[in-house]
Amino acid sequence: MFSPIEVKKYEFGKALRGYDPTEVRGFLESIANELEQLIETNRNQTSELDKLRSEVATYKRVEQNMKEALVSAQEAQRGAREDSLRESELIRREAELAAEKIIRDANVRGDEIRREIETLVNRRDSFVRKLRSLIRSELELIELLESAESESVEIEAESEE
């Protein structure tokens, strides 16, 4: 490819019936100017293209970072969900164990209370038996005393007669 300067300085060979040198020179000037504009446009477009490629690369890095952040967030969310499920399962198990312990303790306490009630019932029954026995023996004693007193009243009444 020719540069604009090479086009301007290009010399054609001379021929007898050749082209008009002024016209050729004007045409070459015109071509050189257009070539300069095209080269300048090409430079500007190349510069713009490099700038746009740089921006695209930046956007691709941002996009990649966003994708990585999204993946990290999803993994973190999945991990948090799994942690929450494990923690809730642990809490449920602990609650079940605590409930089982409370039920066991309540059953043990219920058994103790039943035994205490049985002991109290037996003591009451024993006390009632002893009290009845005591009352019977006191009644017998009272009857004996009454009968002894009535005998003594009879003896006194006989002796006074």
Count of domains for the chain: 1
1 pLDDT band, cuts 50/70/90, is low
Q: Is 90 exceeded by the pLDDT of residue 135?
A: yes
36 Cβ neighbours under 8 A, 6+ residues apart: 4
Q: Is 80 exceeded by the pLDDT of residue 9?
A: no
Q: How far is residue 50's CA from residue 109's CA, in Å, rounded to a whole number?
A: 86
Q: Is 70 exceeded by the pLDDT of residue 42?
A: yes
Q: Which domain holds residue 79?
A: 4-160
pLDDT at 147: 87
Q: How far is CA 12 from CA 6, 7, 134, in A?
A: 12, 11, 160
User: Considering the entire predicted model, what is its pTM?
Assistant: 0.45
What percentage of the chain reaches a pLDDT higher than 70? 99
Q: How far is residue 38's CA from residue 114's CA, in Å, rounded to a whole number?
A: 110
